[in-house]
Structure 1
């Protein structure tokens, strides 16, 4: 009898514990009325992932136009703001290759090109940026540079294909078959161009003033050590070119909006670019 009572007591204790545990189980929260438990939750789309992608050829870094591996710079900002409906993927290359990047299917568009002639299937934008080029010398060299002809007997450091872009006199003086070509050096990387100028004793550098100033100051040189010689046209204008005419049209429309809103002027101020005129001025551009 005593053994039976003990067994019964134990059974009652176990039953009590079992009912207590069952009572503590949480009742599952029912799904909301619209939920379908068999369907996975779709993540939010990545910003910009639904925009058409464009591969954009752009120059190697030349402050203040292109900087930090084409992450910033006025050319990057202009293109990005002029084409907000597209995702732009920048690919850097030397200036000489920019001219043919679209024609050779290396890019959908290229920034900083000039239209030397019509090319079938290539569509050119309006002017989107302008450079003010000068011949620059060191005051210590004491060079007298008043005309383009005065460059003939000096070492001239400039960018690729510059002889095509700085007027007929400069072209004649430094064309490939000219005897003065021996003094003429085209440098693909304009940071290297500026470096060579500062290392040389009496070279003349032909370059956009904003590029020269930015690179020189970033490398510790003083601008009061040089002279600027205004030998060339007021400005050299550059375009973008495209594989598709509708993208070109969207770019032109975006440029117009940047001008009308004042954003273009703000970008010039942001990057400390001082120009006698800009693409936003009403006078016609070449």
Structure 2
């Protein structure tokens, strides 16, 4: 009996020694690098604090209005500065598709549209940019263009749907069912439109002066080789349209601030755009 007790006691002592040794040899838990119990956990930024996103339909590149895949240009700058509280994501569309982009749920807003009629659920801004159009000819062609009627017997290069935007006389002259329509050529890409003008001998190009000048100079052509005929209404005014009225209102308010601060005039100067009048002038626009 005494031998059994001695054996049991010895066994317990051995187990105790082994348990103590294991505790001493086990590595202490390591703190994660840079983190300890006192480290303050910084929460992720609240997603609600980010700017609201807007998908903005804008034309294909047309210097100086839209350039470098809609990352610069005066239209991009105006929209961005007029709506500082929004993140604008631009998508580029051909001109003829801009008008319907919002109505067809392709965009939240579209730049460079005209208001031909009221459309339910579409909200239009004030005018935000003016185009000054001219009939331009090469001096070497010796074409005499003094009024719209003088275009009747010449090939005319212009942009899509231009016959709707240059006054009633031009519309009547080049309407789809008019005899002169055969001389009327619409070109979707205005860079290509300008190139076709320089490649031809005796055509007339109808285009915004600033667009023509910027593209021609970029292609290495001399503006001293052409004549400008100011035969159209003083300017063609373009608006933006919107899916939401409150965004339209914010855009209009932003335009007023750009005008009152002088920033709008600075943008015109930045992009070498010369206008007889601008949206900032006090006179009423259509």
Classify the TM-score, shorter chain.
Answer: 0.7 to 0.9
**Alignment-derived partner of residue 56 in structure 2:** 56
Structure 1 runs of 4+ with >3 Å offset: 28-33, 41-46
Q: 1:203 and 2:203 equivalent?
A: yes
Deviation at 1:213, TM superposition (A): 0.2
Q: 1:171 and 2:171 equivalent?
A: yes
**Alignment-derived partner of residue 8 in structure 2:** none
Q: 1:120 and 2:117 equivalent?
A: no
**Alignment-derived partner of residue 13 in structure 2:** none
TM-score normalized by structure 2? 0.86
Q: 1:186 and 2:166 equivalent?
A: no
Deviation at 1:43, TM superposition (A): 5.4
Structure 1: gaps of 5 or more residues: 1-27
* In 2: Cα distance, 1:260 partner to 1:32 partner: 55
Deviation at 1:234, TM superposition (A): 0.8
TM-score normalized by structure 1? 0.86
- For the structure 1 residues 175 and 88, does the alpha-carbon distance in structure 2 shift closer, same or farther, using more than 3 Å as the test? same
**What is the CA RMSD across the aligned residues, in angstroms?**
2.1
* In 1: Cα distance, 2:259 partner to 2:114 partner: 21
Structure 2: gaps of 5 or more residues: 1-32
* In 2: Cα distance, 1:43 partner to 1:200 partner: 61
* In 2: Cα distance, 1:29 partner to 1:250 partner: 46
* In 2: Cα distance, 1:273 partner to 1:45 partner: 42
Deviation at 1:29, TM superposition (A): 9.1
Corresponding residue pairs, total: 257
- For the structure 1 residues 106 and 144, does the alpha-carbon distance in structure 2 shift closer, same or farther, using more than 3 Å as the test? same
Structure with the greater alpha carbon radius of gyration = 2
Q: 1:274 and 2:245 equivalent?
A: no
**Alignment-derived partner of residue 247 in structure 2:** 247
Measured against aligned partners, the alpha-carbon deviations of 1:151-184 in whole angstroms (never above 9, x if no partner) come to 0010000001100000000000001110100000
Deviation at 1:274, TM superposition (A): 0.5
